[in-house]
Structure 1
Amino acid sequence: MQREAFTEALAKEGFTEFVTVQYEAGAREEHAHPFEAKALILAGEIYIRVGDEERLYKTGDVFHLPANMTHTERYGPQGVTFLAGRK
């Protein structure tokens, strides 16, 4: 999915805040966000674990996390950059 199409689609879903996020290779401990998030991977890769299930997202993929969803994140060897819509 392209950046412009992504932001247009999310705006129609009520997402009003868009931020570009970048992390170096590594991991974050289990946490949750007080906002719903949908993100388009712009570069690199991210593994997101919710419960016992871990999924890999690469450039062009989109992930969605409901507000307050406890999860862990692990970033690939090149890190990750993504554009996130929040509401």
Structure 2
Amino acid sequence: MSQTNTARQFHWIGYAEGISLLVLLIIAMPLKYLAGIPEVVLYTGWIHGLLFITYLLLSLAMYRLQQWSWQLLLASWVAAFLPLGTFYFDRYLRKR
């Protein structure tokens, strides 16, 4: 995988992971607890989990291919755990 393709994939997966978390928190969880539709969280959570794991794996690829420092790798992982974190981290990378 080339550096450019990996960086592009990391960018898009970061956005998809961030959006999936927002959908899970803002739409799926209220539907589960307020409307009694638990299936929404099951499917949305599954999709978010796949995107989350993909984001972490792509950050490892970026660490290796783009020669990130371990601090930048750690920052990408912390961003993955914070709501809106992947958006802020992507913005930081683009300004770098």
**TM-score, length-normalised on structure 1?**
0.25
Higher relative contact order (CA 8 A, sep 6+): 1
**TM-score, length-normalised on structure 2?**
0.24
